[in-house]
Structure 1
Amino acid sequence: MTESLQPIEPQTLYSLSQICWTASNWKSALDEIVTKIRPFFIFDNIAVYLSDKSESNLEVSYAKATGRGKSKEADVAWGESISLEAIRQSKTILQIPEDSEIERFNRPFLLGIPLQSRNSKFGVVVFIRFGSPEFSQEQINFAEFMVHQISSMILRQEHEKMIEKLEDHIKTLQIQEDFISTLSHELKNPIGFIKGYTTTLLRKDTSWDRETQFEFLNIIDQETDRLKDLIDNLLDSSKLQSGKANLNFQVLRLDALLNDVISHSRMVHPDLEIYLDIRQELPNLQGDPRRLKQVFDNLISNSYKYAPGTVIKIRVYKEQSGISIDFRDFGPGIPTAELEKVFDRFYRIEKSVSEIHGSGLGLFICKKIIEAHQGQISATSILGKGTTIHIFLPIT
């Protein structure tokens, strides 16, 4: 018995190769390939077996039934033995049923073709055909060509994933290296001040009047607070990153919380010019007041630090499903290329690294706290005109 199949045109081969080389997901691409090759190469099932991490076993990574009454789940078992044989012998294996009298669906013709890289075999593609005719040499050649294309496609995508992971790893290492450098600098400064002024006060060869002593002790106190804040930020960022931070949710009034934060900020920074704009009654929401206060304190502190002498405007307004809060300053702004990075852990705006003290943890902590409230936080900025931090908190 012979098959009446369409001849394979060069344009078809080119089209199949293009699918393999442009696909971003090899399994989706294989679905398309199977549909395209059936007019030239009849099979009822196809299964792809890939080596596991130990490279001692083959696992089914893809299976598809293409017709004639069989399901892919039931037929995967047909390909297990031939896949092992094909990978063991490192060559194409063709299995032909011995008894032609057996019912067609119980006597499959099996074609196993290894998937291979330059130096090794990493899997097998098995084509299953129930009933005659057997696979012809021309069809086997075509199947080997297609498996070669599939091999290249899978390897390319695996390499792309490896490169992406490597780039992410390099980026993480660079961020960590920058953080260690920043942290060393940030720790060195307050420790240096504390050590220097303490040593000065303890000198026995001179005496200091009470006003000078108070000035020195005040500097030591401020630097100790700065050191404590840095350590607290490190601990907070670690807990929030791992999801281990405990939040105490309760019903709260956002307007009252913001007024408290602003009052405290004015006490800490007497020259701070800050305005709160709430033009409508706000509903209560569920939140952790201590953590939200931490966010608002940090945003005001950032504006005061990075946009000194400018007005800070806080606008709060109700939306259909929550409350929006905009923190706006009129400072130098943030370059567009850096806007998406400002919430990354350890990230600091390039221009500020050498000019302003900071660990690159503040906005990361803000983001994690807002996300823990099922909210969103983002930034917009215009160079020379200022920055706005947008927060949305849902009403639950």
Structure 2
Amino acid sequence: LSDVAGFQSLLLTPLVVQGMVVGVLIFGNSAANAFAGVNEPTLMATGNMAASVLYNAVLFDRVHNEASEREAILKSIADGVVVCDQQRNIMLVNRTAEQMLNLRDWHIVRRNWNAIPLERVPVAKDMFGNDIANLEHYQIGERVVSISSAPVIGEDDSVLGEVIILHDVSAEAAVDRAKTRFIERVSHELRTPLTPICGHTELLLRGYLGPLSTEQRETLEVVRMRGEQMRDLVNNFVMIASIEANTLITEPEPQDVWVAVESALAPMRNAFLKKGLDIILDIPDALPAVRADRQQLQVILTQLFDNARRYTQQGRVTIHASHQGEFVQIDVTDTGPGISDEEFSQLFTRFHRVEGNTSPERGGGLGLAIVRQLVERQGGRAWAESTLGEGSTFSIALLVAHEHADIVAEPNNSERSA
């Protein structure tokens, strides 16, 4: 270096940062012994300051590059990303989230995530009634988005803020709505021909159009049974479609349990009689009213009674009600074949039917799923118990109507018999 630049004096000062040598600072002078004496400490101090400046410059450049990389990554992410602090004030929004939430001025106007107008919408379900995703869905303008979040954790395990991810599921939501409308439309179309089929078959069986031979009567009985099965299946599809579309209105009112049971059981007594099944009612006179939608309670009880009738070939069906704290419990016990442990876990799943049952009256696998969903809409719960080879008990628990609720007229106690 002295030969090239013509220096007669050189002073080399190491650049030390955090105890490590990261470089060297060289001072040169054309005079001999130029750095001897008092100049040396000053130049050493200058070297130390230069090391600090250079190190900070390198750090700044590195941080700037990393920030640019993170910004590029955020911009390229198809999902919306929002970063909030501990108070949920919005600190960072990527381009997709800007468009979803219309937050193009977030870096100028301070906003809080809790102030974002989000409207909760029901989670889409598949045809078996299972949630398509475990994430919450919200309406934002014309969009439907699923939202998930995760905390931002610092090096000392403290929570620094929150990262919120928005995924646009508008297309999936539109498909789900179209599916529900299709099921509802097809179900209503199927109802139209079923009504005259069932009605005219009933007229023929009652002899209004002339006497029938034994063979003709047996044939019409099969037509009526199959027609009623199809009608029940269509009604179940309509009910499922209404629940999924969130168009089913639930209006809980005080309901007398005895009246509800008798009302649901009356149209089915002949069907029980034809199979030779006994009906045992065990409903206390002092049983409090329950809080439920009248029509939905009828559907619940009808499904439970019909399920017991279908799967019981001989014996009896017992309907028992009892007061259990804040609830009234209704148990429907049959003497059917019972249910295996393998089948039990799927009992309230849509379209699931117990394997091995070859009864011509077996349902379409929707009844018990409807029971559970409707009972839960009343604030209650549904469950079952079964012993293979002995029978099953299907139970529901409904909330007791409050004392200040409307009074329910009680029928004459003398009429309460099976």
Instruction: Calculate the TM-score normalised by the size of structure 2.
Output: 0.46
Question: Which has more strand, going by share of residues?
Answer: 2
Higher helix share: 1
Q: Which of these two proteins has the greater Rg computed from alpha carbons?
A: 2
